[in-house]
Amino acid sequence: MKPVSDKSISIAGVFRTLGPILLLIGLAAVSACRLYNIERKLTPAHSDFLSKVGYIITSGERKIFLELPEAEKDTFIEEFWERRDPDSDTERNEYRVEYEDRLEKAGMLFRGEGRPGWLTDRGRIYILFGPPSERLTYPMDATGFCREVWYYGGFPVIFVDDHCSGNFVLKAINLEHLQELNIAQGYFQKTFTQEKKFFDYEVAIQKIRAEEGVYEGTVAIDIPYAAIWFTFKEERLETAFIVKAEMSDESGRLIWDVQDSFPLTLDERELKENRSRRFRMEFPLLLDKDVDLLKNQKIRLEVSVKNTTEGEELRKTLEFRLKF
Q: What is the pLDDT of residue 25?
A: 47
pLDDT digits (tens, 9 = 90+) for 13-69: 544 554 554 444 444 454 457 666 777 788 999 999 999 999 888 888 888 888 888
Domain boundary among 194, 220, 235: 194
- Name the residue among 220, 217, 216 with its Cα closest to residue 305: 220
Is the pLDDT at 86 greater than 80? The verdict is yes
What's the total number of domains in the chain?
2
Q: Is-contact 57 80, C-beta < 8 A? A: yes
C-alpha to C-alpha distance for 202 and 168, rounded to whole angstroms: 33
- Final residue before a domain boundary, out of 143, 170, 194: 194
Evaluate if pTM is beyond 0.75: no
What is the span of the domain harbouring residue 98? 94-194
In a domain, 36, yes or no: no
Residue range 155-169, pLDDT digits in tens: 788 899 888 888 899
SS (H, E, C) 104-124: HHHHHHCCCCCCCHHHCHHHH
Is the domain of 268 the same as that of 168? no
Nearest Cα residue to 127 out of 149, 155, 105, 156: 105
317/311 Cα distance (integer angstroms)? 20
Residue 297 covered by a domain: yes
Question: 206 φ, ψ to 5°?
Answer: -115, 125
